[in-house]
């Protein structure tokens, strides 16, 4: 099992993805860094379907509140938030791959993590964009171990998981399941309870997911070690 003293950084596309997908890992590794990519509102007032379902009148209110929710959630896990100033796809201002890769590389260089966890990149365009940006760093950061986590709730689309793994394999990456990162726990463990409390901090997002969507948020965490395949 990874020790709590290890320098660990989780890259999160949105303000909840790291906790949903890696909450047990974070609970087992206090003092981890969580770098969330898409945390900025659009330059002008607008309202999206997701923000309205979350209970917000506009994007400014949404991002301000969601940042506070994220800070509270990560406090419960003993993690440190880092918020990058990119805008997610719903605000129609997606960053270029180069800009995103550059910002993530600067963040990783600043914190020097031994292990980086990033989304496998399933279904959502923002998740795929962040995943690809992190993949681009594997070759230039040989002293850092990179691991992909299966994106919750999109990992419920098992076909999408298989397709993404096949895509990465064809692109020259070797993926091996990392079974010990999440530290096997039962439903009554302290880490499981901490993760549930952290997820509860994202009240607006739980509202948007609704009861049916929430049921898919507590699936087993799964990780893959990524390396360049031997030629």
Residue pLDDT, tens place only, 60-73: 999 999 999 999 99
- Which DSSP category does 37 fall into? E
* pLDDT tens by residue, 121-138: 988 888 999 999 999 999
Task: Give the torsion through C-alpha atoms of 123, 125, 126, 128, to 10 deg.
Answer: 70
Domain span holding position 97: 8-228
**pLDDT value, residue 180:** 57
Distance CA 19, CA 74 (A): 8
Q: What tens-digit pLDDT sequence spans the chain (231 residues)?
A: 444 335 899 999 999 999 999 999 999 888 899 999 999 999 888 889 988 989 999 999 999 999 999 999 999 999 999 999 999 998 988 899 999 999 999 999 999 899 999 999 988 888 999 999 999 999 889 889 999 999 888 777 778 888 999 999 999 898 888 865 544 444 347 888 889 999 999 999 888 888 777 777 777 889 999 888 764
**pLDDT value, residue 183:** 47
CATH code, domain carrying 187:
3.40.50.10320
Token representation of residue 119:
């989304």
| Domain count within the chain | 1
What is the DSSP pairing of strand 223-228 with strand 115-119? unpaired
Tell me, yes or no, whether 2 lies in a domain.
no
Tell me, yes or no, whether 40 lies in a domain.
yes
Tell me, yes or no, whether 43 lies in a domain.
yes
Q: What is the pTM of this model?
A: 0.89
Tell me, yes or no, whether 1 lies in a domain.
no
Distance CA 105, CA 137 (A): 7
For residue 53, count CB atoms less than 10 angstroms from its CB and return exposed for 0-12, middle for 13-18, buried for 19 or more. middle
Tell me, yes or no, whether 107 lies in a domain.
yes
Token representation of residue 149:
């986590």
Q: How many Å is the Cα radius of gyration of the chain?
A: 17
3-class state of residue 124 by DSSP: coil
Closest CA to 198 of 13, 64, 8, 18: 18
**C-alpha distance across the termini of the chain, in Å:** 30
Closest CA to 58 of 46, 41, 44, 74: 46
Distance CA 82, CA 95 (A): 18
- Return the exposure string of 102-141: e unless at least 16 CB atoms fall within 10 Å of the residue's CB, then b: ebbbebbeebebebbbbbbbbbbebbbbbbbbbbbbbeeb
In sequence order, which residues have a C-beta less than 8 Å from that of residue 52 and are 6 or more positions away? Answer: none
Distance CA 54, CA 32 (A): 28
């Amino acid at each position: 099992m990874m020790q709590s003293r290890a320098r660990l950084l989780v890259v999160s596309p949105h303000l909840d993805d790291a906790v949903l997908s890696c909450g047990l890992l974070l609970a087992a590794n206090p003092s981890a860094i969580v770098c969330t990519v898409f945390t900025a509102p659009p330059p002008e007032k607008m309202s999206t379907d997701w923000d309205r379902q979350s209970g917000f009148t506009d994007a400014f209110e949404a991002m301000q509140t969601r940042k506070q929710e994220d800070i509270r959630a990560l406090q419960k896990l003993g993690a440190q938030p880092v918020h990058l100033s990119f805008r997610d796809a719903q605000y129609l201002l997606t960053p270029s791959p180069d800009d995103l890769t550059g910002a993530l590389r600067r963040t990783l260089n600043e914190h020097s993590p031994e292990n980086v966890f990033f989304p496998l990149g399933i279904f959502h365009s923002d998740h795929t964009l962040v995943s690809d940006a992190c993949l681009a760093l594997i070759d230039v950061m040989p002293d850092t171990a990179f691991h992909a986590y299966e994106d919750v709730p999109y990992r419920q689309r098992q076909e999408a998981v298989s397709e993404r793994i096949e895509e990465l394999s064809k692109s020259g990456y070797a993926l091996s399941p990392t079974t010990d990162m999440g530290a096997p726990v039962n439903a009554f463990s302290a880490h499981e309870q901490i993760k549930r409390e952290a997820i509860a901090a994202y009240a607006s997002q739980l509202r948007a997911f609704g009861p049916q969507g929430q049921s898919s948020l507590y699936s087993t965490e799964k990780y893959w070690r990524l390396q360049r395949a031997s030629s």
